[in-house]
A and B are shown apart, each in its own frame.
Chain A
Amino acid sequence: MAEGTFIFMVKRTVVSTGPVEPGKFCHLSVLDRLMEQNQVKIVYYYPSRADVEPGEWIEKLGDSFASAITNFPIITGRLQKNTEGHWIVKCNDGGVRMMEAKVKGSVEDWLKNVDREKELKLVYWEDMSPKPYYWSTFYLQVTEFENGGLAIGLSCTHLLADPICATMFFKAWADTTLSGIMSTPPFFYSLPLSKADNKNPNQGSYTDLIDYYKSSIERPTPLITNQKYATITLSFTDPMVRDCIAMAQATGASDKSRSLAFEALAALFWVCLSKIKGTNGRLLKMSLCSDMRNVLGLDQRFFGNCMVYNKVHLESAGENMLPEASKAIGEVMKKMNAEGIKDLIYWLQCNDNQTVPLMNGYDFMCANLEGVNPYLATFKDRIEPLRVSYYVEPVTGPGQVLIFRSAPGEGPLSRVAMATLPEDEAAKLCEDDLIQRFSPTVLMGTNKN
């Protein structure tokens, strides 16, 4: 059998260790409901260890996962529609589906020649079945590499969690194996509303955000074509990011809602991809997706969707494309303040219709996942993850780039960017001059073998 082939894959259900009180329901917010068509997929790689028996880790992880999900009844519940036709979660203790798999070779070998298609095999997902009451909303896959190493794939419906809280959940699980107690238990709140309920939703300082959502909801869902996508993972070290910030002349203090690293890198990708996609000197349409927990004053452990999309637009840029792009991005980010978000939430609640858009399928999407550090998920007896990959599926249209933190040792501003693009464009991305100027490490490319 060749390296990288799956030796076996079996499915089971992991149940929480304590019974759930009967009759409990979890309601979903307006931001949650918009994300019904998407899924979040995260893959964590852990290195080889010589002293571990094969199969031992799968069993231990299954057991610890069972006790972790006891604190998250929303994860073990099942979706149902309430009288208003909205999704709610009935906490019926159904459990989470878990796949146990084994692959030939070692994790280090796998990482050397992995690509999008291969990596997605490490995370299991089933689309919503016609009877959602029997459909698990979260899936866990634990893949043991025969010659050492482990890959844990977590996938869930975007309806219940965004990548930020999925990462927090994973960390909480890892923490239970270290100390037996969950050091970061989740917070289940409803989203904060505007203080003034009688405020006219159309009046306000920032209606661009509401307009963007309005147009997203109203336009038809793009069809999922046969277009094949590839994902490139680029790792930017601390000095590289500082260079990029300097070149983008991104200014302003990095505060709660703004991150210079993100703005600079987002601008970088915006400019490069516009060139690759051939938009004749103009910058392509892009939307930004950012975590609003800090902005809204919510704890980082808030469980649920709290990432908001907004459009960024630059009509034309002159010679200094990068700084101007960065400036445009900075302005948009600045305007996404608490009041604006609360107005958006209020508007969504008032204009609640049943259509569910595909929020990230039209424009090119750039997501800021810097709010969490996935490398903090350390299991007992294991050192920290070798690598972490994020996916927000399905990918349609122009594609997306997700920017998140790298391993702690590499500096506070080091970042990893995962760009999912149509195959031919992905190949061009690695060779682009502007990107090459910063010479990031290509962690995952489009090797064709």
Chain B
Amino acid sequence: MPPILPDFCNSVKLKYVKLGYQYLVNHILTLTLIPVMAGIVIELLRLGPEEIVNLWNSLHFDLVQILCSCFFIIFTATVYFMSKPRSIYLVDYACYKPPVTCRVPFATFMEHSRLNLINNPKSVEFQMRILERSGLGEETCLPPAIHYIPPTPTMEAARGEAEIVIFSAMDSLFKKTGLKPKDIDILIVNCSLFSPTPSLSAMVINKYKLRSNIKSFNLSGMGCSAGLISIDLARDLLQAHPNSNAVVISTEIITPNYYKGNERAMLLPNCLFRMGGAAILLSNHHSERWRAKYRLVHVVRTHKGADDKAYRCVFEEEDKESKVGISLSKDLMAIAGEALKSNITTIGPLVLPASEQLLFLLTLIGRKIFNPKWKPYIPDFKQAFEHFCIHAGGRAVIDELQKNLQLSAEHVEASRMTLHRFGNTSSSSLWYEMSYLEAKGRMKKGDRIWQIAFGSGFKCNSAVWKCNRTIKVQTDGPWADCIDRYPVHIPEVVKL
């Protein structure tokens, strides 16, 4: 079986061959144009100036032909600019920083688990093992209602949490961007598990006295990837409405969803999900192109719900004692892998440089025609992106993606550190990761960022952003007081 090129990376000679190949294929147009241009210039020089003038005069142009050509050029240009999709800019975003008083260290979590599940020591042991290997730190936060023994998840407490998280993020966003509430044209709120009437978007409209002709949407039930779904929706709306601002709020309200039973498959979310939220301002105003942080390049959504196993792998249901919880199936990682593959297959051609695409095509042809036993070529996404934001769903997810995409520890650092400091904040975790990269001063103009999120259904959604301007390290933001301590080494198992 012919070996694949990456296996020989140890060999320096082959490395240079690979680099040469990439340069050749990626710049093929330039490389073919240069000899052609050189040839023309040499020819012109050879002819001499008088010959060129004679050549020019021999072409008889009359007025009509000139005018028609001009109109044609102007017409083509107009059609081109009109049909080009509007640029969607991410002006700025704000992440919610939970108060220190909501902190839940491991010891406290385990004690509460022991006291609440007093008749189920096996379930407590299970939670302890999960927590030890979870990759979470001692500073993640749970809402106040969960600090009670037993937890007091009333509707009022849930609304209280929603208000604190969403309004703090919004206030922070208004301050950062100077946006006025009356200037919001589109509002999209996504919160998967808490969906009161009136909706959370109505709650925001009521609090900030937004306009009566606002286009508001409330997405619920769409899991951890709902953040990117909201961005996709915002993008489509901004294409349809010129000169508009869209605010997207991504959050997950923990209070009503703390599982009170002892079914193991359902206890996992209790260990991992934590308080968090983000508010993002998107705009298609042309004037925002100077101060916007990022520009949205692609959004790719993949849904594997047609497959029954994928559909049932993250399922909210009642356990034997009629307590509601979210059950995670054992095939979760396998299904996530499949969903990721589908997503990559779609996003690959959009973002990968020509060299990788060619290799992939050749290997594909080879597998189809010559030998099906050839291992499929995994394109090197590190050439397409400078930064990766993998949804901090859990340590296993990050490990799996790091392996599949062959990423280095530095590439997944943002995801791992977000999981450590904030836990799994569901749809907003991608924004905490972006915030980490900015706080570390790694965002330079022209950098491309890939955000990947998984969610129930089973969905895998990706968004590609391009950094619009080099972002200076800011003194505010959720990482401001602790960025100097990061990155930390997260042990495989924390001894509790």
Contact = CB atoms under 8 A, between A and B. Distances in A.
Contacts of B108: 13, 15, 93-95
A63 to B, nearest CB: 5
Interface residues of A, number: 22
Interface of A is mostly: mixed
B481 to A, nearest CB: 11
B110 A134 contact: yes
A19 B108 CA distance: 12
Interface in B424-451: none
Nearest to B110: A134
Interface string B73-106: 0000000000000000000000000011101111
Contacts of B137: 19
Contacts of A92: 105-107
B149 A12 contact: yes
B143 to A, nearest CB: 12
Interface in B89-135: 99-101, 103-108, 110-112, 114-115
Nearest to B141: A15
Contacts of B112: 13
B111 A134 contact: yes
A11 B103 CA distance: 17
A123 to B, nearest CB: 18
A94 B139 CA distance: 13
B149 A94 contact: no
Contact of B139 (A11, A19, A62, A66): A19
Contacts of B149: 11-13, 97
B152 A10 contact: yes
A300 interface: no
Contacts of A10: 148, 152
A94 B100 contact: no
Contacts of A18: 100
Interface in A181-220: none
Contacts of B106: 92-93
Contact of B101 (A20, A63, A78): A63
Nearest to B494: A22
Interface residues of B, number: 21
B138 interface: yes
A66 B107 contact: no
B411 interface: no
A17 interface: yes
A17 B103 CA distance: 7
Interface string B139-165: 100000001110010000000000000
A13 B147 contact: yes
A19 B107 contact: no
Contact of A17 (B100, B104, B110, B152): B100
Contacts of A97: 149
B101 A19 contact: no
Given A93-B107, A93-B138, A12 B148 contact: yes
A142 to B, nearest CB: 14
Contacts of A67: 100
A408 to B, nearest CB: 32
Contact of B105 (A95, A134, A136): A95
A66 B108 CA distance: 13
Interface in A8-37: 10-15, 17-20
Contact of B107 (A14, A62, A63, A95): A95
Interface string B167-199: 000000000000000000000000000000000
A134 B103 contact: no
A393 B475 CA distance: 51
Contacts of A136: 111
B101 A62 contact: yes
Contacts of A13: 108, 111-112, 147, 149
Interface string A61-94: 0110011000000000010000000000000111
A445 to B, nearest CB: 36
Nearest to B104: A15
Given A13-B112, A93-B107, A94-B108, A19 B148 contact: no
A13 B147 CA distance: 6
B148 A66 contact: no
Interface string A391-429: 000000000000000000000000000000000000000
Nearest to A18: B100
Contacts of B110: 134
Contacts of B107: 78, 92-95
Contacts of B100: 17-18, 66-67
A63 B147 CA distance: 13
Contacts of B103: 15, 17, 19
Given A11-B148, A66-B100, A93 B105 contact: yes
A14 B144 CA distance: 10
Contacts of B101: 14-15, 17, 62-63, 66
Interface in A39-65: 62-63
Nearest to B102: A15
A19 B488 CA distance: 14
A94 B148 contact: no
Nearest to B495: A22
Residue among A15, A17, A92 with the most chain B CB within 10 A? A15
Nearest to B137: A19
B147 A12 contact: yes
A15 B144 CA distance: 11
**Most chain A Cβ neighbours within 10 Å, of B105, B107, B110, B152:** B107
B257 to A, nearest CB: 19
A76 to B, nearest CB: 9
Contact of A94 (B105, B147, B152): B105
Contacts of B111: 13, 94-95, 134, 136
B358 to A, nearest CB: 51
Interface in A347-378: none
Contacts of A78: 107
Interface in B12-64: none
Most buried by A among B100, B112, B137: B100
8 contacts: A11-B149, A15-B101, A17-B103, A19-B105, A19-B137, A94-B107, A94-B111, A134-B110
The 10 closest A-B pairs by CB, nearest first: A94-B107, A17-B100, A93-B105, A92-B107, A19-B138, A12-B148, A12-B147, A11-B149, A66-B101, A95-B108
Interface of B: 99-101, 103-108, 110-112, 114-115, 137-139, 147-149, 152
Given A17-B100, A20-B105, 4 more contacts: A19-B138, A19-B139, A95-B105, A95-B107
